[in-house]
Structure 1
């Protein structure tokens, strides 16, 4: 099992775990920070019906069954195990560039634990 921590840059603000989306950062012990947005299938359908376009896309889109924290954590672990993580998420920097020079891996709170 790969060690990693999850942070929600805008906070964990979910109205419906089956119809919403959520930005997240995945942080590894080597201090690398990756970004992605978790969507549910219902949320994509909702956005398609609401929007003017006949398509939907998002950079770093990660589709999950629901937005429960445990589901997100397990889905990311599965993506790592299946070697798809680097295809889904984009590296946005290191702990020092994203969170500040005084922050280290041990001081980061995993918001999905």
Structure 2
């Protein structure tokens, strides 16, 4: 299935090995999913800089790095393995999520 990746905030990863990033995955069938990507180094950094004894995040997926290539590869793998819906949350459809931008169809969504 075709997909497009969108970043709710601009892609501003300073260190692909130590950062985190929110993303939306838009499927050609119109479904839109949300998730947050982290690296292990980033989780370690966040835990060391905070006094909490635990770390969690809704819809979290840990990657080795946050390069565009790795993100695209992992989304393809989640889709091919049939587990995207278990890893990330469906937040709506293209029309319900992006209609305020004038996007109502998969072809309206710009590619990143």
Give TM-score, length-normalised by structure 1.
0.92
Q: Which runs of 5+ in 2 are unaligned?
A: none
| 2:110 partner SS | coil
- Tell me the number of residue pairs that the alignment of Structure 1 and Structure 2 aligns: 110
1:39 corresponds to which residue?
38
**Structure 2 CA distance for aligned equivalents of residues 77 and 65 of structure 1:** 16
Structure 1 residue 87 displacement after superposition: 1.1
Please give the root-mean-square deviation of Cα atoms over the aligned residues, in Å. 1.1
* TM-score, scaled relative to structure 2: 0.93
Map 1:45-64 to 2 at 5 A. Answer: 45-64=44-63
Q: Show the counterpart of 1:109.
A: 110
Structure 1 unaligned runs (5+)?
A: none
Partner of 2:83: 84
* Structure 1 residue 84: Cα displacement: 2.1
How much does 1:83 deviate?
2.4
Equivalent-residue separation in structure 2 for 1:85 and 1:56 (angstroms): 22
